[in-house]
């Protein structure tokens, strides 16, 4: 009986010590499973998965799995997966898996998966099927799986799977079943059952069951 009483007293003492001993929780608002391991989070407003108005978040792990490793994010409004109006985002990893490695994106409005009206997008990774009105897209990878390897598409409106009225489409890869009214389609690969009214179709590969009796 005395052993049971002694054991109960020891367990009660150990439990009280464990409850009263928080480890390294000074000034941090540790949200459940969101913002952990902050170095200078004393004055931060830690919101659940958002983290806004950080002044010195250079070494912070921002937003679980979204915005990490920012160098100069002092005045940025870090929104969940959006990040707009960055002044010096040259080396930033912008928007998880969307806009990366931009050289001169100072004044760009970086929206999630859109990014329009870039002035110098020569070396940019064009977003999948969105970016329009590029001036110098000679070497770009245009729209994932649609318009690739264009030589002189400076003034073209590159829309996902449309692209019409090209002036110099001699060497272009015609989009599947859309591009029509070409002036110089002598060497083109005629689209399956769409492109008609060719002037010089003498040496063309006749479309399957469409262009007959030449």
Q: What is the pLDDT of residues 30-59, one digit of tens each?
A: 444 434 444 444 444 444 344 444 443 444
User: Is residue 13 predicted with pLDDT exceeding 50?
Assistant: yes
Confidence of residue 198 (pLDDT cuts 50, 70, 90): very low
Select from 121, 123, 84 the least CA-distant residue to 132.
121
Q: For position 16, what pLDDT does the model report?
A: 54
d(C-alpha 113, C-alpha 156), whole Å? 20
Q: What integer is the mean pLDDT of 157-184?
A: 40
Q: Which of 16-25, 168-177, 200-209 has the lowest mean pLDDT?
A: 168-177
SS (H, E, C) the chain: CHHHHHHHHHHHHHHHHHHCCCCCCCCCCCCCCCCCCCCCCCCCCCCCCCCCCCCCCCCCEECCCCEECCCCCCCCCCCCCCCCCCCCCCCCEECCCCEECCCCCCCCCCCCCCCCCCCCCCCCCCCCCCCCCCCCCCCCCCCCCCCCCCCCCCCCCCCCCCCCCCCCCCCCCCCCCCCCCCCCCCCCCCCCCCCCCCCCCCCCCCCCCCCCCC
- Cα–Cα separations (whole angstroms), residue 123 to 16, 95, 102, 118, 158: 62, 18, 8, 11, 17
% of the chain at pLDDT higher than 90: 0
pTM: 0.12
Q: For position 4, what pLDDT does the model report?
A: 62
d(C-alpha 67, C-alpha 74), whole Å? 13
Q: For position 29, what pLDDT does the model report?
A: 44
- Cα–Cα separations (whole angstroms), residue 39 to 146, 171, 190: 45, 56, 62
Name the residue ranges covered by the structural domains of the chain.
37-113, 116-175
Average pLDDT of the chain, as a whole number:
43
Confidence of residue 6 (pLDDT cuts 50, 70, 90): low
% of the chain at pLDDT higher than 70: 0
Q: Which residue has the tokens 């020569």?
A: 122
d(C-alpha 13, C-alpha 174), whole Å? 79
Q: What is the pLDDT of residues 72-89, one digit of tens each?
A: 344 444 443 444 444 434
Q: What integer is the mean pLDDT of 184-209?
A: 43
Q: What integer is the mean pLDDT of 145-160?
A: 40
């Amino acid at each position: 009986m005395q052993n049971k009483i002694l054991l109960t007293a020891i367990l009660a003492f150990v439990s009280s010590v464990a409850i009263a001993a928080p480890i390294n929780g000074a000034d941090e608002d540790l949200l459940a499973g969101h913002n952990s391991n902050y170095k200078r989070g004393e004055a931060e407003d830690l919101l659940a998965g958002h983290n806004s108005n950080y002044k010195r978040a250079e070494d912070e792990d921002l937003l679980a799995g979204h915005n990490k490793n920012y160098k100069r994010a002092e005045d940025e409004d870090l929104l969940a997966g959006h990040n707009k109006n960055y002044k010096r985002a040259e080396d930033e990893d912008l928007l998880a898996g969307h806009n990366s490695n931009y050289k001169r994106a100072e004044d760009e409005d970086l929206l999630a998966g859109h990014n329009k009206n870039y002035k110098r997008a020569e070396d940019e990774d064009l977003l999948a099927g969105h970016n329009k009105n590029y001036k110098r897209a000679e070497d770009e990878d245009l729209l994932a799986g649609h318009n690739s390897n264009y030589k002189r598409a400076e003034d073209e409106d590159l829309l996902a799977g449309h692209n019409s009225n090209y002036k110099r489409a001699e060497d272009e890869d015609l989009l599947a079943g859309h591009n029509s009214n070409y002036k110089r389609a002598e060497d083109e690969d005629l689209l399956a059952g769409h492109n008609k009214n060719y002037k010089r179709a003498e040496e063309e590969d006749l479309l399957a069951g469409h262009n007959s009796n030449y």
